[in-house]
Amino acid sequence: MSITATIIQVIALVILAPLVQGIVKNTKGRLQSRRGPGYFQPYFDFVKFLAKDSVVSPTVSWVFHFAPYIYFATAIGAAALVPTIFTETNGQFDNLFILVYLLALGRFFLAIASLDAGSSFGGMGGSREMFVSVLVEPALMITLFTVAISANSTVLSAMASNAASEPISLSTVLAAIAFLIITVAETGRIPVDNPDTHLELTMIHEGMVLEYSGRSVGLIFWAAAIKQLVFILLLIKLFIPWDLPGFDSNVMSAVSMFTKVLIMAVLLACIESSTNKMRLFRVPGLMVAAGCLSLLALVAQ
């Protein structure tokens, strides 16, 4: 992928990520017999946050100040690596290990920043986030390895190209279900987390960012929206990459991909509306199920 194509991809994903977030929230509201926020409400929220100044405790260190920017930068890096309509190889940088470590780096700094503020809620949210990440990351790696082994490469673009040429198999179906569970966990959605709550007994991601305000919290929420879109695109390109007949050109492939993103956003909203928030100590059972599915997918290769 050329530098120009990468820049275009990053700009497009950064701009469209809040729209996908708005679709999820609006669909969730309608499924719950509410009007729900508008599709473009996340854009208005981000503009509002970015226009406000931040209120920061004088006791925090540089980690607290820089964590939102690092979190946002890692989300941008992930958006640059994820395959979209461009499937050309990007050399040694277009690699699943780099993608996973970028996401882990952002999570690490956000968790450290939650401890740096000295808030009891922040420390609780940070510890819960690390607890969930320890469960999610092994299942994520095994699921991605399922596609990597089939493609004989850990390059994401090569994995996407190989997945598009492979027929539907039992391994693909099991890996897709496992990755869907991982996507729900990584994006902090019900039943693992509730992104719309501030109750101290249930919040995970929200607990980490309670001490942030203004531009900092705007960047964190925007990065979370980008991360959600990245996982949706990974699910689409690696596990359900097939286009409809006649969708061979880049323009039609982009239309097909956008349609599948909308379907996945509606699916996430349906999952949230049809399940309850799990107790924290029941989350390992869900992640074990995802890990077993990914292992079965790996064995079924």
**Looking at per-residue confidence, does 24 or 253 come out higher?**
24
Task: Give the start-to-end residue ranges of the domains of the chain.
Answer: 3-299
d(CA 138, CA 156): 18
| Residue 59, φ and ψ in degrees, nearest 5 | -95, -5
What are the pLDDT digits (tens) for 164-201? Answer: 777 788 888 899 999 999 998 888 887 887 777 666 66
Q: What pLDDT digit, counting tens, does each position of 77-136 carry?
A: 999 888 887 655 455 677 888 999 999 999 999 989 888 877 777 778 788 888 888 888
The SS3 of residue 176 is helix
pLDDT of 53-84, one tens digit each? 888 888 888 888 899 999 999 999 999 888 88
What's the Cα-to-Cα distance from 267 to each of 35, 49, 162, 213, rounded to whole Å? 18, 28, 25, 31
∠ CA 126-130-131, nearest 5°, is: 115
What pLDDT, on a 0 to 100 scale, did the predictor assign at position 229?
Answer: 93
Tokens describing residue 161 = 């190209």
Neighbouring residues of 287: CB distance < 8 A, sequence distance ≥ 6: 132, 135, 136, 139, 181, 185
201, burial (CB in 10 Å: exposed 0-12, middle 13-18, buried 19+): exposed
Torsion of CA 185, 187, 192, 197, to 10 degrees: 170
